[in-house]
Amino acid sequence: MTTQLLPGNPPVTVRVGLLEGYERVTFRCSGRYRIETRSGELLREADSSELKWRLLREKSTPTRFLYSVLVASFQKRDEAMALAEQFEEKGFSSAMRQIGGPIEIEGQVIGDNTLYRVQVGNFQEENDARELLGKLELDYAPRLVREVLVQASGKLELFDQSLEQHYESTDGFRLVPEETTARMTLFGVRMNSGFSYEPMEDRMYSGMIEFYVDHEGDIAALTEIPIDTYLRGVVAADTNSDLPPEAMKAQAIVSRSLVIATKTVKHLNDPYDLCAHVHCQIYSGVTHQSDSVNEAVTATRGNILFHNGSIVDAHFTQVCGGHTEDVQATWMTPPMYLGRGVPCDCTGTMDVPDLTSEGGARRWIQSRPKSCCNLDGVDLPAGKSFGRKHFRWETTLLRSEIEEILLTKTGIDIGMLYDIVPIRRGRSGRLMEVDILGSLSNLRIKRELRIRRLISHTALESSAFLVEVLCDSQGNPMELVLTGAGWGHGVGLCQAGAARMASDGKRAEEILAHYFPDCVIDKRY
């Protein structure tokens, strides 16, 4: 199957970081490529080679950063300035940083994602910034940010398997295809799944590929491609090719809206807009593309979600667990669309308790409500087994295991772990704030993703969970049993629910209207 490039200049291009942190990279080209330095110096005329190529890192120096603590982001400049001034009055060095700006497609402004960030401190050592971060965690949901002070440098060496062609560059390399059917396979790409293991696979890409020295002084690669080429690789990686067509179309519209809304406010220190991992959207090139995916992207070409005339930074989750979550409760960055969580209800008759209360959340998580993403007994292809597996889940962790994880990830020794106490839950029952009780100290954790990460080696499936502490005969905690609902942050489109709706005959527009109330689809290119 060949993906045809559309004629003319694409309405939107995307620079995607494919990999980083490699000492060597092996790849093979299919079709004619020319080799340049990243600054455009021609090293080899376009030619084809079925041999493997190897890229090695020679001497390199990592990037030097300035570190600060991001305490809050605002859409209004005055609000950001007021908070920065409050920190200055308390004796903290603070600054306001403006990011984002007007969003344009083919010369037309279709939105604005300008944000004003309040950053506190200015450190050359990361540990100093982390010390400040620890002091601000109780009152804010801070995170560490860094800004480039001195860019990384180094030399890369490129040669083919036969050792007949050899090139060196301190600028990096660019491989540019001379035909639309040309493909490059990168071998052993780490998939950065974010869960219990990090598998690798060989991935095939179309379009230009750049190799350069990353911030750690290792080898990195990126590509620059038209947005719909990118979406074909994203939808293929984030869904299954056997999804009902209307669910696939809904996913394509959501992914397109998210890319256009956020690509200028992520990875501000990197030479790319978006990474190829779960932090942005998983992009696997043409590795997993299928006719059904390509048809969904083509059928929805240019379709973007809007709310009251503003583009929607639409998100999606694998399995919401029966109720989606409020956007604003999940991330510290102000969303462009203040979407409220909704019941994942196919019939409109589901009885949903108050999931922000402990009693309501307990009844909900311990039951299996007849929501759209509850696929028990539903005749859907095997590819949707993730819905059955993750709608309700259970995991058991040793007390000592959690203590070690917390010490490793936070640097705080809480002593013996007594309990994990819920403080605040979101609309979907997901925990947004917990207290970790220990014999030496207590630890307050805020934000859904941080909770999932700090009490697990990688990340729990969701933060909609209950905690049961199992004790020994002396009353000392030994194990913690976590019973949970859903997979992912729960915001926006529920992929399992969308599959169910599509199999019941709902169109993509109806699916999106359910998960994104009061939003409309508009074709902008």
- What is the rounded distance in angstroms from the CA atom of residue 205 to the CA atom of residue 18? 10
In a domain, 42, yes or no: yes
In a domain, 441, yes or no: yes
Arithmetic mean of pLDDT, 58-74: 95
Residue 472 and residue 345 share a domain = yes
What pLDDT band is residue 479 in, cutting at 50, 70 and 90? very high
Count of Cβ atoms closer than 10 Å to residue 451 Cβ: 24
Token pair in block for residue 208: 């230009």
Domain extent at residue 237: 13-62+152-299
Q: Residue 385 has what pLDDT?
A: 66
Give the single-character DSSP code of 216: T
Res. 67: pLDDT tops 70: yes
Residue 454 and residue 389 share a domain = yes
Question: Each residue of 232-291: pLDDT tens digit?
Answer: 999 998 887 788 999 999 999 999 999 999 999 999 999 999 999 988 999 999 998 899
513 contact partners, CB below 8 Å, separation of at least 6: 519
Res. 164: pLDDT tops 80: yes
The answer to whether residues 434 and 445 touch, using CB atoms and an 8 Å cutoff, is: yes
Comparing 55-64, 193-202, 397-406, the range with the smallest average pLDDT is 193-202
- Cα 329 to its chain centre, rounded Å, is 17
Q: Residue 198 has what pLDDT?
A: 64
> What percent of the chain has a predicted confidence (pLDDT) above 70?
96
Residue 259 and residue 162 share a domain = yes
Give the single-character DSSP code of 103: E
Arithmetic mean of pLDDT, 24-29: 96
Torsion sign, CA atoms 446, 447, 450, 454: positive
Res. 197: pLDDT tops 60: no
Q: Residue 346 has what pLDDT?
A: 86
What pLDDT band is residue 192 in, cutting at 50, 70 and 90? low
Residue length of the chain: 525
Question: Each residue of 308-352: pLDDT tens digit?
Answer: 999 999 999 999 999 999 998 888 777 777 789 999 998 888 999
Residue 51 and residue 77 share a domain = no
Residue 79 and residue 41 share a domain = no
Res. 196: pLDDT tops 50: no
Distances in whole angstroms, Cα of residue 39 to Cα of each of 171, 344, 522: 7, 50, 38
The answer to whether residues 375 and 391 touch, using CB atoms and an 8 Å cutoff, is: yes
The answer to whether residues 19 and 190 touch, using CB atoms and an 8 Å cutoff, is: yes
Residue 459 and residue 346 share a domain = yes
In a domain, 350, yes or no: yes
The answer to whether residues 318 and 461 touch, using CB atoms and an 8 Å cutoff, is: no
74 contact partners, CB below 8 Å, separation of at least 6: 80, 83, 115, 116, 117, 118, 334
Helix axes 291-299, 245-262, angle to 10 degrees: 60
User: What is the number of H-type helices and E-type strands within the chain?
Assistant: 12, 30
DSSP H helices, 175-242, are 227-238
Q: Residue 1 has what pLDDT?
A: 32
- What is the rounded distance in angstroms from the CA atom of residue 387 to the CA atom of residue 322? 11
Strand partners, 44: 35
DSSP character string of 77-90: HHHHHHHHHHHHHT
The amino acid sitting at 393 is W
The answer to whether residues 311 and 304 touch, using CB atoms and an 8 Å cutoff, is: yes
In a domain, 74, yes or no: yes
Res. 379: pLDDT tops 60: yes
What pLDDT band is residue 3 in, cutting at 50, 70 and 90? very low
In a domain, 144, yes or no: no
Residue 157 and residue 265 share a domain = yes
Residue 335 and residue 474 share a domain = yes
The answer to whether residues 156 and 213 touch, using CB atoms and an 8 Å cutoff, is: yes
In a domain, 516, yes or no: no
Residue 207 and residue 58 share a domain = yes
Question: Each residue of 91-144: pLDDT tens digit?
Answer: 999 999 999 999 999 888 999 999 999 999 999 999 999 999 988 987 888 899
- Tell me, what CATH number does 92's domain have? 3.30.70.1070
Residue 225 and residue 164 share a domain = yes
Question: Each residue of 413-440: pLDDT tens digit?
Answer: 999 999 999 999 999 999 999 999 999 9
Torsion sign, CA atoms 361, 362, 363, 366: positive
525 SS3 class = coil
Count of Cβ atoms closer than 10 Å to residue 402 Cβ: 22
The answer to whether residues 484 and 392 touch, using CB atoms and an 8 Å cutoff, is: yes
What pLDDT band is residue 195 in, cutting at 50, 70 and 90? very low
Residue 391 and residue 290 share a domain = no
In a domain, 93, yes or no: yes
Q: Among the three residues 278, 299, 320, which one is the final residue of a domain in this structure? A: 299
How many domains would you assign to the chain?
Answer: 3
In a domain, 142, yes or no: no
Q: Residue 194 has what pLDDT?
A: 46
213 contact partners, CB below 8 Å, separation of at least 6: 57, 60, 152, 153, 154, 156, 172, 219, 220
- What is the rounded distance in angstroms from the CA atom of residue 194 to the CA atom of residue 460? 10
Res. 174: pLDDT tops 80: yes
32 SS3 class = strand
Q: Residue 378 has what pLDDT?
A: 82
Residue in the structure block whose two tokens are 């290119």: 525
Residue 49 and residue 35 share a domain = yes
Distances in whole angstroms, Cα of residue 89 to Cα of each of 83, 85, 98, 140, 313: 10, 6, 21, 17, 35
